[in-house]
A and B are shown apart, each in its own frame.
Chain A
Amino acid sequence: MATALAIRDLCKSYGDVRAVVHLDLEVGLGECFGLLGPNGAGKTTTIEICEGLTPPDSGDVELLGMRWATHERELRNILGIQLQETQLSEKLTVAETVRLFRSFYAKGLGEDEVIALVQLEEKTRARVGTLSGGQKQRLAVACALVGDPRVLFLDEPTTGLDPQSRRQLWDLIERFRGDGRTVVLTTHYMDEAERLCDRVAIVDHGQVIALDAPRALIASLGAEHVVTFTADGVAIEDATLEALDGVTAVRHDNGSIQLTATELRRTMPALLTLLEQQHIRLTELSTHSATLEDVFVSLTGRHLRDA
């Protein structure tokens, strides 16, 4: 697979804070690539260095064979960028905003075409200030798409949106893909990464701690299910739990215990029998299929949202 984006040995510090630490990544042409990690992990710094908005302290970024130092004008014309927390001018209408951004690019999509793509046809003449959060975000994506980019960068595209708006944006991103167009996005929503991304890099403290397709990352847990329970009374030895049928890992998390299990139908009866025998009262019990969140937890011992 040809390379769209290559990052080599990237470093960036803000004062004493090391935002990006010797980070390497390669994104293939036509791939949808996700940077998944908690807030403050260095995702935004990384993506903004790739976008040529933040200079790195050291390291190299190559986009479609070009570098910022030598090909800024060409790169600006073939990249589509959506930044976190941009407020577009509230006084302009949707159509005026799209037309303004379109005028910056040598070639690109038609104004109506882009507005239709983000499903804002009914809001064409509405002022930006009157749009809902989800509509504003889709307009921001429209501004990123209007130059018909080869590579699309999205920084937390669905943060703060309601579930329906999020699904609309996901559909939009999926429609944009294809024709060899590449998407790089950051997110701290595991479901977003699982739904959209061909491959995901899990980023923590400015470093990539895991990199693979979402399914493969989940499979790397060695088990498909997670059992979480809270119990009163006598503490149970980890070794006892690990010995239960089908359990591959045991973790303690805020007073509850998490078991990673290959098959619920074998593990659950064994667990319940154990608790019965030791006269331990169960106060909470839940199970779910393993997600990228569980991968992050197993790698860092922390949750994505409160890490």
Chain B
Amino acid sequence: MRDSLRQLVLTRFREFVREPEALFWSLAFPILLSVGLGIAFRNRPPEVVHVAVVGDSARSAAVMAALARSAGVAAQRLTEPDARLGLRTGRIALAVRIPATGGVDYEYDDTREDARNARLLADDAIQRGGGRRDVVANSERFIREPGSRYIDFVVPGLLGMGLMGNGIWGIGFPVVDARRKGLLKRLMATPMSRAEYLLSFVISRFVLLVIEIFLLVGFSAVAFGVPLRGSFLQLAAICALGALAFGALGLLIAARPRTVEGASGLMNLAMMPMWILSGVFFSSENFPVAIQPVIQALPLTAVNDALRANMLRGAGLTVVGPELAIIAAWFVVCFVLALRLFRWR
């Protein structure tokens, strides 16, 4: 490596390592986030649904006894006013009334999943208590496998989000700061190669990238058993391509602003929609079909989809070809535009 390039790369590392906040936000923060989310969304034993039986008749005692035999239902006797209040506040999911004319009457909010669930469980228990027999014999097994939990979903998302944040901030911020301080202009007054200057950011980002991947993927594998089913090298390749695309986007954002404030506004404008739309914390398929083409074209969506395919499904690079093509297109377009628009002083 030429001495000038080596000095520039060293400068990048020195500036990064000597800024404790930057270290924290880019390396420690994603891990803390995964810890928090992993704890908040850890899988718990199946929850019980709360059901109220209204009234005090002999038939209601039989209903109570039938409900008590169901493991998923917690039943209690309530007076009519208490049952109403319980339904309104969501403390109970279902009220069971026993009309004098016979049969049972269910009251619940049919838009609530747990209420619908309570209706099915309670009805099943009451019908069995009344003597119903299953006509088809059944047996059940449970799978609780790593890979389908929330933490498994969110870790690739956090990795993608880290790639985006570090790419855009890690390149955009120092470049704009150097321009604001007149340092960029001062460097232009030396024989320094502009290509080497930009290359020094790419190299330093790549080294930090490897650290990022090892930290987050390693930590989540050890702490939460998040699987890495695909090849690690291919995962690294997806991350590298993603880092290039986000780095180019950061460079494009930093191409002209003279103030850090102006640049950070642009950076948030670029990143905010992707945090929400690109499936970091919840699946991007929750959004309407009409805007799906836009969502699918975002670089973070492509990165997250490719990371999940690799980590959770063990998919090879050929499977994620379309995503890689989208990421590569973002890199090329942003980089060409950035070089064309870049203000060197």
Interface 0/1 of B3-33, CB less than 8 Å to A? 1101110110011001100000000000000
Contact present for A92 and B183 (CB under 8 Å): no
Q: How far is the CB of B292 from chain A (nearest CB, A)?
A: 44
Q: How far is the CB of A305 from chain B (nearest CB, A)?
A: 24
Query: In the complex, what distance in Å separates the CA atom of A53 from the CA atom of B18?
Result: 31
Q: Does A167 contact B (CB under 8 A)?
A: no
Residue with the greatest number of chain B CB neighbours at <10 A, chosen from A101, A103, A105, A127: A103
Q: Does B99 contact A (CB under 8 A)?
A: no
Contacts of A52 in B (CB 8 A): 189
Q: Does B192 contact A (CB under 8 A)?
A: yes
Q: Does A76 contact B (CB under 8 A)?
A: yes
Contact present for B186 and A104 (CB under 8 Å): no
Q: Does A69 contact B (CB under 8 A)?
A: no
Contact present for A105 and B190 (CB under 8 Å): yes
| Chain A residues with a Cβ closer than 8 Å to the other chain, count | 27
Q: How far is the CB of B18 from chain A (nearest CB, A)?
A: 4
Q: B185's contact among A79, A83, A103, by CB below 8 Å, is which?
A: A83
Contact present for A81 and B191 (CB under 8 Å): no
Contact present for B190 and A76 (CB under 8 Å): yes
Query: In the complex, what distance in Å separates the CA atom of A92 from the CA atom of B190?
Result: 18
Q: A83's contact among B4, B7, B178, B182, by CB below 8 Å, is which?
A: B182
25 A-B residue contacts at CB 8 Å?
A: A51-B189, A52-B189, A53-B185, A53-B188, A53-B189, A76-B191, A77-B191, A81-B189, A83-B182, A85-B182, A86-B181, A87-B181, A87-B182, A88-B181, A88-B183, A89-B11, A91-B15, A91-B19, A92-B11, A92-B15, A96-B14, A100-B8, A106-B191, A127-B18, A147-B190
Q: Does A73 contact B (CB under 8 A)?
A: yes
Q: How far is the CB of A149 from chain B (nearest CB, A)?
A: 11
Q: B183's contact among A73, A76, A87, by CB below 8 Å, is which?
A: A87
Q: Does A99 contact B (CB under 8 A)?
A: yes
Residue with the greatest number of chain B CB neighbours at <10 A, chosen from A85, A89, A143: A89
Contact present for A104 and B4 (CB under 8 Å): yes
Contacts of B343 in A (CB 8 A): none
Residues of A100-116 at the interface with B, using a CB-CB cut-off of 8 Å, are 100-101, 103-106
Contacts of B8 in A (CB 8 A): 100, 103
Contact present for B190 and A104 (CB under 8 Å): yes
Contacts of B15 in A (CB 8 A): 89, 91-92
Contact present for A92 and B14 (CB under 8 Å): yes
Query: In the complex, what distance in Å separates the CA atom of A83 from the CA atom of B189?
Result: 9
Contact present for A103 and B3 (CB under 8 Å): yes
Q: 11 more A-B contacts (CB under 8 A) besides A86-B182, A101-B190?
A: A51-B189, A53-B189, A73-B191, A79-B189, A81-B190, A86-B186, A88-B181, A103-B4, A103-B7, A103-B8, A104-B4
